[in-house]
Structure 1
Amino acid sequence: MVFYPPSWVPKLPEVPDTVSIPDFLFDEHNGRRPLNQSWDPFTCGLSGRTRSAQDQKTQVDHLARALNKEFGWKVNEGTEYDKVISVFAFNTIDIMTLNWAVHRNNGISSPVNSVYNADELAYQLTNSGSKSIFTVLPLLQTALAAARKVGIPKERIYLCEMPDITTVGMKMPSGFKTLTQLIEQGASLPPIESLTWTVGQGARQTAFLCYSSGTSGQAKGVMISHRNVIANILQVKTYDQIERDKNGPDYLEVALGLLPQSHIYGLIVICHVSVYRGDQVIVLPKFDIQQYLRSISNFKINVLYIVPPIIISMVKNKHLLTNFDLSSVKSIFTAAAPLGKEIAQELTDQYPGWKVRQAYGLTETCTAVTSSSPHDIWFGSSGSLLPGCEAKLMTVEGNEITGYDQPGELWMKSPSVVLGYLKNAVATKETFVEETEGRFMRTGDEAVFRKAPSGNEHIWIVDRMKELIKVKKGMQVAPAELEACLLDHPAVADCAVIAVPDDWAGEVPKAYVVRSNHVGLLESEAMTRREICKYVEGKKSKHKWLEGGVEFIDIIPKSPSGKILRRLLRDRDRMDRRKQRSKL
Structure 2
Amino acid sequence: MVFFPPRSFPPLPLIPDDVAICDFMLDERYGRFSLSESQNPFTCGLSGKSYSWLEVRNRVDYLSRALSKEFNWHPNRGTEWDKVAACFLLNTIDNLSLFWAIHRLCGVATPANAAYSAAELTYQLKDSKATALFTCVPLLETALTAAKQAGIPQNRIYLVDLPLEFVGNAKAPPQFKTLEQLIETGKSLPKVEPLKWGPGQGVRTTAFVCYSSGTSGLPKGVMISHRNVIANSIQICTFEGTFRPTTDTPYHEVVLCLLPQSHIYALVYMCHAVPYRGDGVIVLPKFDINTFLNSIQRFRINILFLVPPIIITMLRNQELMKKYDLSSVTAIFTGAAPLGAETAKELHSIFPDWAIRQGYGLTETATVVCATTNNDIWFGSSGNFLPGVEARLVSPDGNEILEYDTPGELVIRSPSVVLGYLHNEKATKETFRDGWMFTGDEAVIRVGPKGTEHMFIVDRIKELIKVKGLQVAPAELEAHLLEHPLVADCAVIAVPDEAAGEVPKAFVVKSPSATQDDTSIIQAIKKHVEDHKARHKWLKGGVQFLEVIPKSPSGKILRRLLRDQEREARKRAGSKL
Specify the TM-score bucket, using the shorter chain as the normaliser. over 0.9
In structure 1, the residue corresponding to 2:185 is in which secondary structure? helix
Aligned residues: 576
1:418 pairs with 2:418: yes
Aligned with 1:481 (options 470, 476, 481): 476
CA shift, 1:527, in A, is 2.1
Match of 1:172 in 2: 172
Match of 1:561 in 2: 554
Which aligned pairs between 1:256-271 and structure 2 lie closer than 5 A? 256-271=256-271
1:400 pairs with 2:396: no
- Cα 1:582–1:475, aligned 2, differ >3 Å: closer, same or farther? closer
Q: Which stretches in structure 2 are left out of the alignment for 5+ residues?
A: none
Query: How large is the Cα RMSD of the aligned pairs?
Result: 1.2
Match of 2:197 in 1: 197
> Take 1:455 and 1:248, find their aligned partners in 2: how far apart are those partners?
31
In structure 1, the residue corresponding to 2:369 is in which secondary structure? strand
Aligned with 2:523 (options 523, 530, 548): 530
Aligned with 2:545 (options 534, 539, 552): 552
CA shift, 1:171, in A, is 2.9
CA shift, 1:195, in A, is 0.6
Match of 2:444 in 1: 448
Match of 2:77 in 1: 77
Match of 1:507 in 2: 502
CA shift, 1:248, in A, is 5.5
In structure 2, the residue corresponding to 1:494 is in which secondary structure? strand
- Cα 1:582–1:170, aligned 2, differ >3 Å: closer, same or farther? closer
Match of 1:326 in 2: 326
Match of 2:95 in 1: 95
Q: More displaced, 322-331 or 525-534?
A: 525-534
Q: More displaced, 443-452 or 170-179?
A: 170-179
Q: Deviations over 1:255-311 (max 9, x none)?
A: 001110000001000000111011100000000000000000000000001100000
Match of 1:289 in 2: 289
Q: Deviations over 1:493-532 (max 9, x none)?
A: 2211011111111111001112222222xx3222221121
In structure 2, the residue corresponding to 1:370 is in which secondary structure? strand
Match of 1:365 in 2: 365
Tell me the TM-score normalized by structure 2: 0.98
Match of 2:492 in 1: 497
1:471 pairs with 2:471: no
> Take 1:377 and 1:226, find their aligned partners in 2: how far apart are those partners?
32
In structure 2, the residue corresponding to 1:445 is in which secondary structure? strand
CA shift, 1:247, in A, is 5.5
Tell me the TM-score normalized by structure 1: 0.97
Match of 1:457 in 2: 453
> Take 2:172 and 2:486, find their aligned partners in 1: how far apart are those partners?
44
Letter in structure 1 aligned against 2:131: K
> Take 1:183 and 1:27, find their aligned partners in 2: how far apart are those partners?
20
- Cα 1:248–1:563, aligned 2, differ >3 Å: closer, same or farther? farther
CA shift, 1:249, in A, is 4.8
Aligned with 1:576 (options 560, 569, 573): 569
> Take 2:173 and 2:58, find their aligned partners in 1: how far apart are those partners?
28
Q: Deviations over 1:134-193 (max 9, x none)?
A: 000000111111111121111110000000122124232111111111111112211110
1:541 pairs with 2:534: yes
> Take 2:356 and 2:399, find their aligned partners in 1: how far apart are those partners?
35
> Take 1:544 and 1:143, find their aligned partners in 2: how far apart are those partners?
19
CA shift, 1:242, in A, is 2.1
Letter in structure 2 aligned against 1:469: I
> Take 1:504 and 1:259, find their aligned partners in 2: how far apart are those partners?
16
Q: Deviations over 1:394-430 (max 9, x none)?
A: 1111111111111111111000000000111111001
Which aligned pairs between 1:205-244 and structure 2 lie closer than 5 A? 205-244=205-244
Q: More displaced, 556-565 or 539-548?
A: 556-565
> Take 2:259 and 2:504, find their aligned partners in 1: how far apart are those partners?
22
CA shift, 1:559, in A, is 2.4
> Take 1:15 and 1:60, find their aligned partners in 2: how far apart are those partners?
23
1:352 pairs with 2:352: yes
Q: More displaced, 532-541 or 208-217?
A: 532-541
CA shift, 1:96, in A, is 0.2
> Take 2:553 and 2:368, find their aligned partners in 1: how far apart are those partners?
37
CA shift, 1:119, in A, is 1.2
> Take 1:423 and 1:286, find their aligned partners in 2: how far apart are those partners?
32
- Identity rate, percent: 59
> Take 2:571 and 2:517, find their aligned partners in 1: how far apart are those partners?
26
* Cα contact 2:259–2:286 (8 A) shared by 1: yes
Letter in structure 1 aligned against 2:436: F
1:516 pairs with 2:516: no
> Take 2:97 and 2:193, find their aligned partners in 1: how far apart are those partners?
18
CA shift, 1:246, in A, is 4.0
Q: Which stretches in structure 1 are left out of the alignment for 5+ residues?
A: none
Which aligned pairs between 1:145-164 and structure 2 lie closer than 5 A? 145-164=145-164
> Take 1:320 and 1:104, find their aligned partners in 2: how far apart are those partners?
45
In structure 1, the residue corresponding to 2:147 is in which secondary structure? helix
Letter in structure 1 aligned against 2:459: D
Letter in structure 2 aligned against 1:429: K
> Take 1:247 and 1:293, find their aligned partners in 2: how far apart are those partners?
29
> Take 1:582 and 1:567, find their aligned partners in 2: how far apart are those partners?
19
> Take 1:27 and 1:170, find their aligned partners in 2: how far apart are those partners?
37
> Take 1:563 and 1:393, find their aligned partners in 2: how far apart are those partners?
25
- Cα 1:556–1:85, aligned 2, differ >3 Å: closer, same or farther? same
> Take 1:452 and 1:582, find their aligned partners in 2: how far apart are those partners?
31
Match of 1:245 in 2: 245
> Take 2:92 and 2:174, find their aligned partners in 1: how far apart are those partners?
21
> Take 1:21 and 1:387, find their aligned partners in 2: how far apart are those partners?
20
* Cα contact 2:159–2:172 (8 A) shared by 1: no
Q: Deviations over 1:186-237 (max 9, x none)?
A: 1221111011112100000000010111111111110000000000000000
Q: Deviations over 1:536-567 (max 9, x none)?
A: 11221211110000011222222233222222
In structure 1, the residue corresponding to 2:23 is in which secondary structure? helix
